[in-house]
Amino acid sequence: MENILTANDLTKKYKSDAVVNRINLQIPRGAVYGFLGPNGAGKTTTIRMLLGLIKPSHGSISVFGKDLRKNRIEALKEIGALVENPSYYGHLNAIENLEVYRVLRKAPKSKIKEVLEIVGLEKAAKKKVKEYSLGMKQRLGIAIALLGDPKLLILDEPTNGLDPQGILEIRTLIKSLAKERGITIIVSSHLLSEIDQMATYVGIISKGRLIFQNRIEELRRFASASVSFTTSSPEETFKHIVSYGIQAYREEEKIMVEAEDEAIAKVISLLVRHGISIYRVEENKKSLEDIFLDLIKEEGTNVQSTFKSRIS
Amino acid sequence: MYKALLKAEFLKIKRKWIWGLVFLGPFGVIALEALNFGLRYDYLTDLYKDDLWKGLIGEANMLSVFALMLGATLVASLISSLEHQSTSWKHLLSLPLSKTKIFMGKFSLAFILLTTSCILLAIGIVILGISLGFGTDISIALLLKTCFYPFLAALPVVALQLWLSIVLNNQALPLAIGIVGSIFGGALPRWTIWSWPSLSNQWDKPIINVCLGIVVGLILLGFSTVHFTKKDVNS
């Protein structure tokens, strides 16, 4: 698939500290790209570079096949953005806020009504924006981003600080924008669960490095399930299973076995034969969030170990 | 493009008291002069009996220079705070517009607002003079010089204040510099930009201050625009 945006070796250094370290992004056309990472991992800095707000220390960005540095204004015509908290003029109402940006983008007047409908703010359009709830402000931010009929929408933490209802609304909105209008969307978040149900691609950034980038299905494949056994005597259970040649490990009173149908059947008959009472057999599926946290943790320990080896 | 930018800028200051300030500046000067002439009518009309209008314009000038510089400071800060408070810089600068134009749009807005104040001041002086019974024999040239020469000589101050207010998120420093500059401007050495709007120089030729103001103002504007376009947008 063709990439609508690519970043090569993108780096941003403040003094000698690399906040974003040689990351390579590939955003395929039509994707909803979940850009994930804990707070302070470099998400916002990366997004600011993608919008030309910050100059990269190193590396290049190409949008719609053109170099961003040389074609900033051309590229920005096709991009709508919401960076962190939405920018709105509190003393103006939604229509007036949109009018400011409509004039600057030279969009037709009819666009205002259209984007208000898309984000569902028609009823509150005449209310001063400072009286809006956070969710409404966020939706206004998206409406502003949609004014220029963007091909690429960049949303930085659009669900940050919203209640579950608000998160759901934004999620539904993003999904429908991608599906019905074919807009490519980059959406950043520090919670995988928030973008889980809408992202088709995922990029994970940790400590300024991109540690994963692929389809979300690939990430799900890491989600190997295991089955845990709770029995009358964990000690014996573990010994029997291992001596039978099945891989297992103990987690306190539970014995964990990889979730393979044959293996489970064997373990159960084995335990029954040895007269061990089986209290519980449970399947534990790793959630995407667990994988995400594991990936970040791994990255963290790697960094630590290299740091340690450098000292010694 | 500038038309669209200015249209957007004027939309943004709707319902803000920036407009109030534009009127308050000249109104304050006229009100104080009305008080001045009201209280000391006999003394002042005697003092300026050769040319009453010149006297009135001269008296008003002393206050208007201070009001102008203070006004420039406040206008620059207010039109920048508008974007700081709404965290709009990042959004404004991710629009398909050149950064130079965005900066120049702000300067143009400040220029237009301050020009409006100067025009209002001229109108105010005429109304005050007529109501004080000074007749209609007004020296228009002197009136316009008094209202607009200080403004042109104050262009470096306008450019400096706008640059500081836009670049710094915290308005304390630009406001402090602007206020101190407006109060002590006349007392500062002649080479400082704050002393120029008083139009006094050793050759007694106000036009020198005006030319200096325009030239240095444009240079400062050029520098600040370049700095603004090169700067990373972090807030």
Interface with B, mutate which of A49, A100, A152 (most B CBs under 10 A): A100
pLDDT in tens, B157-201: 999 999 999 999 899 999 999 999 989 887 887 888 888 888 777
Q: Kindly report the nearest CA distance between residue A167 and chain B, in angstroms.
A: 22
Determine the Cα–Cα distance for residues A62 and A7; give it in Å rounded to an integer. 6
pLDDT for position A2: 85
pLDDT for position A32: 93
Residues of chain A contacting residue B15, judged by C-beta atoms under 8 Å apart:
91-92
- Confirm or reject contact between A91 and chain B (CB < 8 A): yes
Question: In this predicted structure, which of A6-15, A239-248, A262-271, A299-308 has the lowest mean pLDDT?
Answer: A299-308
**Whether pLDDT at A56 is above 60:** yes
pLDDT for position B188: 80
**Whether pLDDT at B96 is above 60:** yes
Helices (H) and strands (E) in chain B, counts: 10, 0
Contacts of A226 (CB under 8 A, 6+ apart): A256, A257, A258, A259, A283, A284
Residue in chain B nearest A91 by alpha carbon: B15
Q: Which carries the bigger pLDDT value, residue B163 or residue A91?
A: B163
A103 close to B4: Cβ distance less than 8 angstroms: yes
Question: In this predicted structure, which of A64-73, A277-286, B104-113 has the lowest mean pLDDT?
Answer: A277-286
Q: Which residue has the tokens 């500081």?
A: B164
Contact check, Cβ <8 Å, A92/B11:
yes
Q: What is the dihedral of CA A263, A266, A268, A273, to 10 degrees?
A: -160
A79 close to A49: Cβ distance less than 8 angstroms: no
Contact check, Cβ <8 Å, A148/B94:
no
Pairing of strands A201-206, A209-215: antiparallel
> With bands split at pLDDT 50, 70 and 90, how would you rate the model's confidence at A95?
very high
pLDDT for position A299: 64
Contact check, Cβ <8 Å, B7/A103:
yes
Residues of chain A contacting residue B92, judged by C-beta atoms under 8 Å apart:
87, 104
Report the percent of chain B where pLDDT is more than 90: 50
The alpha carbons of chain A give a radius of gyration, in whole angstroms, of 25
- Confirm or reject contact between B187 and chain A (CB < 8 A): no
In this prediction the pTM is: 0.82
- Confirm or reject contact between A84 and chain B (CB < 8 A): yes
Determine the Cα–Cα distance for residues A79 and A54; give it in Å rounded to an integer. 16
- Residue B128's CB is within 10 A of a number of other CB atoms, namely 18
Interface with A, mutate which of B79, B84, B90 (most A CBs under 10 A): B90
- Residue B199's CB is within 10 A of a number of other CB atoms, namely 23
> With bands split at pLDDT 50, 70 and 90, how would you rate the model's confidence at A115?
very high
> With bands split at pLDDT 50, 70 and 90, how would you rate the model's confidence at A312?
very low
Residues of chain A contacting residue B233, judged by C-beta atoms under 8 Å apart:
48, 53-54
pLDDT for position B137: 79
B148 close to B58: Cβ distance less than 8 angstroms: no
A94 close to A120: Cβ distance less than 8 angstroms: no
pLDDT for position B132: 86
Q: Which of A65, A20, A148 is nearest to B95 (CA)?
A: A148
Touching A: B residues 9-48, CB under 8 Å: 11-12, 14-16
A291 close to A219: Cβ distance less than 8 angstroms: yes
**Whether pLDDT at B63 is above 50:** yes
Residue in chain A nearest B90 by alpha carbon: A53
**Whether pLDDT at A107 is above 50:** yes
**Whether pLDDT at A309 is above 70:** no
pLDDT for position B138: 83
Q: Kindly report the nearest CA distance between residue A63 and chain B, in angstroms.
A: 14
Q: Mean pLDDT for chain B?
A: 89
- Confirm or reject contact between A104 and chain B (CB < 8 A): yes
Q: Mean pLDDT for chain A?
A: 85
**Whether pLDDT at B45 is above 90:** no
Could you tell me the CA-to-CA distances from B231 to A2, A53, B64 in Å, in that order?
33, 9, 35
Q: Which carries the bigger pLDDT value, residue B62 or residue B215?
A: B215
Touching B: A residues 109-138, CB under 8 Å: none
- Counting one residue from chain A and one from chain B, the pairs whose CB atoms sit within 8 A come to 79
A54 close to A12: Cβ distance less than 8 angstroms: yes
Residues of chain B contacting residue A89, judged by C-beta atoms under 8 Å apart:
12, 82, 86, 88
Q: Which of B202, B166, B103, B102 is nearest to A101 (CA)?
A: B102
**Whether pLDDT at A246 is above 60:** yes
Q: Kindly report the nearest CA distance between residue B81 and chain A, in angstroms.
A: 11
Average of pLDDT values for A4-8? 91
DSSP A48-72: HHHTTSS--SEEEEEETTEETTTSH
Contact check, Cβ <8 Å, B90/A83:
yes
DSSP A89-141: -TTSBHHHHHHHHHHHHT--THHHHHHHHHHT-GGGTTSBGGGS-HHHHHHHH
pLDDT in tens, A197-242: 889 999 999 888 898 888 888 887 776 678 888 998 888 888 888 8
pLDDT for position B101: 92
B69 close to B159: Cβ distance less than 8 angstroms: no
**Whether pLDDT at A43 is above 80:** yes
Q: Which residue has the tokens 């807009």?
A: A183
**Whether pLDDT at A250 is above 70:** yes
- Confirm or reject contact between B235 and chain A (CB < 8 A): no
A223 close to A291: Cβ distance less than 8 angstroms: yes
